[in-house]
Amino acid sequence: MKAFILFLLFFWIASLGIQAQNGSIMTVKGPIPASEMGLSLIHEHVLVDFIGADKTGKHRWDEKEVVPVVLPFLNQAKELGVKTLVECTPAYIGRDPLLLKKLSESSDVQIITNTGYYGASDDKFLPDHAYSESADQLAERWTREAKEGIDGTGIRPGFIKTGVNGGSLSELHAKLITAAAKTHLETGLVIASHTGPAVPAFEQLEILEKEGVHASAFIWVHAQGEPDLDMHVKAARKGAWISMDGLDNSNVEQYVQMLENFREHGFLHQTLLSHDAGWYSPGEENGGEFRAYTTLFEKLIPLLIQQGWAEQEIEQLLVINPQNAFEIKVRRN
Ligand SMILES: [Zn+2]
């Protein structure tokens, strides 16, 4: 009898860890079936604090002031059809899960937050322990956030966000990516890494491969920063997600060209699109200037349709791909 109770207890504990199983994505309000993700903006921001890891913290902004500034932009996105917004602000640069939950409840837009550290901008946003701890120790921290929630809020991340500089990887950044790979194997969360050019993109893919992680667990963030479109195709061929995520009113034609390149090479199913727009900036009057999440709907989609793109292809980019990228699933080599 005792053994049976222990057996049950074991399964009860095990089930706590697998609330987010294959086929689901993790929002700030908890797991939902991936099929409910709907039309998604996969790289946007609600709040970003650029002051640096040593000075940032919740004392820098007041939720009561931030919500009225951000909410109209989320509502506007929702009216345009957005069901899910992936908030790409990492820890130590303005990540605030409770604020995101509040905004999600108020707008009814599903929001996804992240775990992981951002090494880009020459390490300005890294806490001290990112230097001293090993990849295993960092992975342990991030895995704990994924399993137990962030800072006691119970809010769990839906992806791993990292960031590296534009050149060859430093030892420190290679360690961050190793930690991300290890976290992926424990959690099944996809890795979105602020990258830009091809050199660090391929170096990161190499690290993942060495750690036994398939390239399809990697989102090459800001891939539009690489002018050689053959590099996009080369990374896609390995299985990586290529994220074109800096869409604004000035570069719509360039995005059409990049998308056409993907379509020609048969990789539309690995392409992601977003604005990298927003955000409330603490320290600036009324949060500074906020860029709306609208160019995709007002400019890019109409242009694609005008150029003969099928609705199905657009749905692939905005609905199917986000769901496949953010689905919680361990991708091994
Ligand atoms: Zn961003």
Task: For residue range 143-153, list pLDDT tens digits in order.
Answer: 999 999 999 99
Sorted by sequence, the CB contacts under 8 Å of residue 277 that are 6+ apart come out as: 44, 45, 248, 291, 292, 293, 295
Distance 195 CA to ligand 1 centre (A): 10
The yes-or-no verdict on residue 7 having pLDDT over 90 is no
pLDDT higher than 50, residue 322:
yes
User: Ligand 1 center to residue 254 CA distance, Å?
Assistant: 19
Percent of the chain whose predicted confidence (pLDDT) is above 90: 93
| Distance in Å, CA 308 to ligand 1 centroid | 30
**Dist. CA 194 → ligand 1 center (Å):** 7
Question: What's the pTM value of the predicted model, to 2 decimals?
Answer: 0.93
Q: Mean pLDDT throughout 210-219?
A: 98
Query: With 50 as the cut, is the pLDDT of residue 11 above it?
Result: no
Mean pLDDT, residues 297-304: 98
The alpha carbon of 226 and the centre of ligand 1 are apart by a number of angstroms equal to 16
CA of 9 to the centre of ligand 1 (A): 42
Q: Which of 9-13, 28-32, 83-87 has the lowest mean pLDDT?
A: 9-13
* Rounded Cα gap, residues 60 and 64, in angstroms: 12
Q: 322 CA to middle of ligand 1, Å?
A: 16
Spacing, Cα 113 to ligand 1 middle (Å): 12
- In this model, does residue 219 exceed pLDDT 60? yes
Residue 21's pLDDT is 52
pLDDT digits (tens, 9 = 90+) for 65-122: 999 999 999 999 999 999 999 999 999 999 999 999 999 999 999 999 999 999 999 9
Whether the per-residue pLDDT at 324 is higher than 50: the answer is yes
Instruction: Give distance in angstroms: CA of 43 to centre of ligand 1.
Output: 6
- Tell me the per-residue pLDDT of 226-284, one tens digit each, with 9 for 90 and over: 999 999 999 999 999 999 999 999 999 999 999 999 999 999 999 999 999 999 999 99
Distance (Å) from CA 222 to ligand 1 centroid: 8
C-alpha distances out from residue 69 to 79, 81, 104, 285, 290, Å: 17, 20, 14, 11, 9
Average pLDDT, stretch 294-323? Answer: 98
Query: What CA–CA distances, in Å, run from 212 to 131, 183, 185, 219?
Result: 24, 12, 8, 16
Separation of CA 45 and ligand 1 centre (Å): 6
* 89 Cα to the center of ligand 1, angstroms: 7
Ligand 1 centroid to Cα of residue 284, in Å, is 19
Average pLDDT on 176-201 reads 98
Between the CA of 242 and the centroid of ligand 1 the distance, in Å, is: 14
Higher pLDDT, 88 or 13: 88
Distance in Å, CA 214 to ligand 1 centroid: 24
Is the predicted pLDDT of residue 15 greater than 50, yes or no?
no
pLDDT at 19 over 90: no
Report CA(44)–ligand 1 centroid distance (Å): 6
The pLDDT assigned to 22 comes to 61
Q: pLDDT tens across 120-163, in order?
A: 999 999 999 999 999 999 999 999 999 999 999 999 999 999 99
* pLDDT for position 209: 98
**The tokens of 198 are what?**
């091809």
Q: Are 31 and 50 in contact (CB under 8 A)?
A: no
CA 119 – ligand 1 centroid, Å: 13
Distance (angstroms) between ligand 1 centre and the Cα of 42 equals 10
User: 48 C-alpha vs ligand 1 centroid, how far in Å?
Assistant: 9
**How many angstroms does the Cα of residue 34 sit away from the middle of ligand 1?**
23
Q: What is the percentage of the chain residues whose pLDDT exceeds 70?
A: 93
Question: Is pLDDT above 60 for 45?
Answer: yes
